[in-house]
Amino acid sequence: MQDRFLGDRTALVTGATSGIGLAIAQALAAAGARVAISGLGSDQQISDALASIDAAGANGSKHFAADLRDAAAIEAMMSSCASWSQPDILVNCAGIQHTASLEQMPAATWDAVLAINLSAAFHTMRLALPAMAARGFGRVINIASVHGLVASVNKTPYVASKFGLVGLSKGAALEYAGQGSRTSGGVTVNCVCPGWVETPLIEPQVEARQAAVGGSRDDGVRALLAEKQPSGRMSLPAEIAELVVWLCRPAAHNLTGAAIPVDGGWTSQ
């Protein structure tokens, strides 16, 4: 029997047409939340995502379209979502990555990575947090990365965006820390900082490493993990989602401004 403790809550999850965001939307639905998602994809991909979220327990999840590079589109998305149901829980999960040296990095890629991974979260937060404060309950969970805590080569826009996301979250956590009460649940803002997670985002890096070491995809994955993630195991999207659901619990009212690594020891080295 699932604990439906989010039965009277609405969640908006960006980047939920794939990977970690989709798993988070499903887990929040299973915990009883009304779920809105955004994210790119074909009509089929979006309707499959909504069907899987409903099957997990949402019953009437809804997609709000927006290209998150566009601030006006984000405002329209937030306004449509609020008219449908004001979010109590906001998960900023949309993200892109491109690997190249600083010198080789296209300037347009810098703009896109910063817009989607960082500025979009600023816009969704500035639009969602006031209503959370008014109700005395809110949870903002930003999916950053180990790259919000430590750098790696050939990922400068990604690293800059994720360090920025951690800073944005800490600042917002301070501004809203005094809102609400233990009874109402308070308003918290946190980052989850995964290491390697098994999703389409990392596939180009897996393929490149497989080509470099030869052998199977598993050999490529092993080589990638051996470099940085001491556990030698990738996380699964559903495991990240369980932490997100826990952060929505009333007992998490005093956990705010944190950047929580889920990285098999990567950032402990």
Give a three-class secondary structure readout of 139-151: EEEEECCHHHCCC
Chosen residue from 119, 179, 188, 199 binding ligand NAD by CB under 6 A: 199
Site for ligand NAD, residues 247 to 266, rule: CB under 6 A: none
Q: How far is the CB of 237 from ligand NAD (least distance, A)?
A: 6
Contact 26, 241 (CB under 8 A): yes
Q: How far is the CB of 136 from ligand NAD (least distance, A)?
A: 29
Q: How far apart are CA 17 and CA 95, in angstroms?
A: 12
Contact 121, 164 (CB under 8 A): no
Question: Interface with ligand NAD includes 17 (CB under 6 A)?
Answer: yes
Residue closer to ligand NAD by CB (options 64, 176) is 64
Q: How many residues bind ligand NAD (CB under 6 A)?
A: 28
Contact 166, 149 (CB under 8 A): yes
The contacts of residue 83 (CB under 8 Å, 6+ apart) are: none
Exposed, middle or buried by CB within 10 Å (0-12, 13-18, 19+), for 260?
middle
The contacts of residue 8 (CB under 8 Å, 6+ apart) are: none
Residue closer to ligand NAD by CB (options 80, 184) is 80
Residue closer to ligand NAD by CB (options 147, 253) is 147
Exposed, middle or buried by CB within 10 Å (0-12, 13-18, 19+), for 70?
middle
Q: How far is the CB of 198 from ligand NAD (least distance, A)?
A: 7
Residue closer to ligand NAD by CB (options 157, 186) is 157
Q: How far apart are CA 234 and CA 251, in angstroms?
A: 28
Q: How far apart are CA 196 and CA 22, in angstroms?
A: 17
Of the residues 77, 137, 140, 158, only one is catalytic, namely 158
Residue closer to ligand NAD by CB (options 10, 161) is 161
Chosen residue from 196, 206, 210, 261 binding ligand NAD by CB under 6 A: 196
Chosen residue from 114, 202, 223, 260 binding ligand NAD by CB under 6 A: 202
Q: Is 176 a catalytic residue?
A: no
Site for ligand NAD, residues 65 to 104, rule: CB under 6 A: 67-69, 93-96
Which positions touch ligand NAD (CB under 6 A)? 15-21, 39-41, 67-69, 93-96, 116-117, 143, 145, 194, 196-197, 199-202
Residues known to be catalytic: 158
